[in-house]
A and B are shown apart, each in its own frame.
Chain A
């Protein structure tokens, strides 16, 4: 037995190592026995493999069981080998009944083919598809199914695992999202439409839009806005200061204050002048806007702007014309009363003249008084002309004679700074026109010439003759023939073509508001037209302007017609009914008539006169005022008489000659005696009317 010797031959260190290894082996066994390990390393045909003990993979199992996705293990042909609780819930079936079932049971129609394609696609670690599961309760559940090959062991049959995600919620979410998107898109469309129509409306209203951001002082503007300000291609950033600089210097502070005020008041609205950038024109703009607040702090002011220059011009013209109309009415009214006064004075003077014993003094006094009445009558005619209640009293006149008579007046009208030169015509030409209107026209031109020469200059008034052929005449809207041209030329500032184009328009004026009526040249034009002539203008900026009134030439023969004999009163007989509301005038008229040999009946109103006639009084002539208060004026009386007393002749009298227009519709042959009249005028008119009637 050599065993003990063998043992003894083992070295001590070896022994200790063996002891340790034994202890380790025992400890390993103990650990396994005591359950201190839960996995073993086992040798296999393909090398080392780790086997976990049965309960060792519980964390995985719990993970699979607890997860919110359905999980299945499938055989190659779709038979379920395993499924988790979630999958069972998804398809609405008991979990135990599912193992061994084909998953295709829960797929309908087309979905089965999609699923089979998914299964046979064996390439790749995982693949997925969206399918619809048909649950037992009939519900269709949209899911995402991902399939992967489960390679556990080479010997095992092919197994696949699948994870099924319920897409119901996410589908709903995406539907909601799509719906929300659609809503949003509609809202955007709607808003864009509103914006478009707003833009359209703004465009139609020729309004520009602006938006002033108060926080960073930037002004956003629309294209129209820039057009209004004449900013043709400027895109540079605007601030409030840029905007202010557009306004004329006089208005800048006011505009700035308006904007400052808007921050507290909540709105802004003003009309101010700008210098339009592209042409430097001064334009009126109206700015309207509203302030927007954030936490009680004004953050922006936004609004519209429009060019209101033309509107203001129209308003101004309207105002001017209303003013003229009002003044015209007032003047006309005064002239009417004034005529009656002159009538009384003049008539009384006539009667005095016949009744008093004359000596040199009395004759002189009477003459002076009568002269006063005549001057008053002239003044009254001017008032009427101004109120445009004057008819054109055409007569044949010699232009040069006329000009010479008011050369002094011209001198006074143009002032000392302007030299007046009157060039006499080589011969005397006659025209058939209203001398007074021509005077007014020349005065108007002279005043325009003066205003065109604030620093002084020369005004030249001359008369020339022009022979127009058909072509030249047509170009001026007149007929061919000889025209006498009265020209007023100045050495003033002149006019640009666009101004010339408009000068005849009523109320057009280049003078400051209040300095001119804008009617001067309109009167000239209207008068020339009414006389059968026309007006021409030649002007050059910086050199001067010449305006010529062309009046048709008349033969001097006609001119002799107006040189009438000094008329003499004509006496007569008969009964005259005097209808006049002013008792003084009535008394004078009656006296004058009685003096002339007529018998007189008096009536204060038209209806009173009708009553007299209705009563059957013998009346040979009705002499009535046109303007009378009450229900029946002179015209009404004539109308009434045409019906009931057509045989009685009528002589009208008025200081208000424009009434002739209203009488145009009346019977021909009606005569009107202009107030104030003299006894001679009255005698002739009464005689003429009664003679016509006889």
Chain B
């Protein structure tokens, strides 16, 4: 964890240890591309609205540490990864579609069945 932390930019951490049902989120960005900047901003807003007090966000700039892309199998940026609760979930894009993000993070269930 400490090895990683050195290269991570921790945007915000609500508590040191993830809360029992807390969301451990990681946002991968590519420097300050417009989508990356939009994604950081959208995620922050969204978490405050829906996960207040139950989340931590790590922002990882792959322009600084490209080798970290491998770990979470990142192909496109920006990508949001839900590391906890399991299972691991991924949302790609600038997170401007709140509904899709909420569904993707299992914060709100999809209207249709999973089949």
A residues in contact with B34, CB < 8 Å: 38, 55-56, 58-59
CB distance from A364 to the nearest CB of B (A): 146
| A59 lies within 8 A of B66 (CB) | no
Segment of B5-13, B44-52, B67-75 in the binding face? B67-75
Compute how far the CA of A349 lies from the CA of B93 in the bound complex, rounded to whole angstroms.
Answer: 156
B33 touches A52 (CB 8 A): yes
Contacts of B63 in A (CB 8 A): 50, 52
> Which residues of A sit under 8 angstroms from B67, Cβ to Cβ?
47-48
Q: Of the candidates A19, A28, A55, which one forms a contact with B92 in the assembled complex, judged by CB atoms under 8 Å apart? A: A28
Given A56-B33, A56-B35; A38-B75 close (CB under 8 Å): no
B33 in contact with A24 (CB, 8 Å): no
A101 within 8 A of B: no
The one of B66, B78, B90, B104 that contacts A48, using a Cβ cutoff of 8 Å: B66
**Contact assessment for A38 and B92 in the assembled complex, using a CB-CB cutoff below 8 Å:** no
Interface residue A608 (Cβ < 8 Å from any Cβ of B): no
Q: Does any Cβ of B come within 8 Å of A568's Cβ?
A: no
The reply to whether the CB of B77 lies closer than 8 angstroms to some CB of chain A is yes
What is the CA–CA distance of A28 and B36 in the complex, to the nearest angstrom? Answer: 16
Task: Pick the contact of B93: A36, A47, A53, A59 (CB < 8 A).
Answer: A36
- Most chain A beta carbons < 10 A, residue from B67, B74, B75, B79: B75
Interface size on B, residues (CB 8 A): 29
Interface flag for A37 (CB, 8 Å): yes
Q: Which of A24, A50, A56 contacts B62 (CB 8 A)?
A: A50
Q: Are B92 and A50 in contact (CB under 8 A)?
A: no
A314 within 8 A of B: no
Q: Is the pair B114, A36 in contact by a Cβ cutoff of 8 Å?
A: no
Question: From residue A146, how far is it (CB to closest CB) to chain B in Å?
Answer: 22
Q: Are B66 and A36 interface neighbours, CB within 8 A?
A: no
A59 to B38 Cα, complex, angstroms: 13
Interface size class of A (residues with CB under 8 A): 20 to 34
Nearest chain A CB to B56's CB is how many angstroms away?
22
Q: Is the CB of B92 within 8 A of A41?
A: no
- B57 adjacent to chain A (CB < 8 Å): no
B60 to chain A, nearest CB (A): 11
* Cβ of A16 under 8 Å from chain B: yes
Please report the C-alpha to C-alpha distance between residue A308 and residue B83 in the assembled complex, in whole angstroms. Answer: 99
B115 in the interface (beta carbon within 8 A): yes
> When chains A and B are docked, how far (Å) is the Cα of A40 from the Cα of B35?
12
The residue that A41 contacts in the complex, of B37, B74, B93, with Cβ under 8 A, is B74
Q: Which residue of B lies closest to A58 (CB)?
A: B34
**What does the 1/0 interface line of B75-96 toward A look like (CB < 8 Å)?**
1111100000000001111100
Contact B30 A47 (CB under 8 A): no
A544 to B30, CA, bound (A): 115
CB <8 Å contact, B74 and A36: no
Is A352's beta carbon under 8 Å from chain B?
A: no
| Interface pair B30/A31, CB less than 8 Å apart | no
Q: Is B62 a contact partner of A41 (Cβ separation < 8 A)?
A: yes
Q: Pick the contact of B30 from A19, A27, A38 — CB < 8 Å?
A: A38
CB contact list, B90-108 vs A, under 8 A? 90-94, 104
A9-62 at interface with B (beta carbon < 8 Å)? 16, 19, 24, 27-28, 31-32, 34, 36-41, 47-50, 52-53, 55-60
Chain A residues with CB below 8 A from B93, complex form: 31, 34, 36-37
Asked if A56 and B30 sit within 8 Å, CB to CB, the answer is yes
**In the complex, what distance in Å separates the CA atom of A39 from the CA atom of B102?**
23
A-B CB contact pairs (8 Å), 21 listed? A27-B91, A27-B104, A28-B92, A31-B93, A32-B76, A36-B35, A39-B62, A39-B78, A40-B75, A40-B77, A41-B75, A41-B76, A48-B69, A49-B66, A52-B63, A56-B30, A57-B31, A58-B34, A59-B32, A59-B34, A59-B37
Residue positions of B touching A, CB distance < 8 A: 29-37, 62-63, 66-67, 69-70, 74-79, 90-94, 104, 114-115
Closest 3 CB pairs of A and B: A39-B30, A36-B93, A39-B77
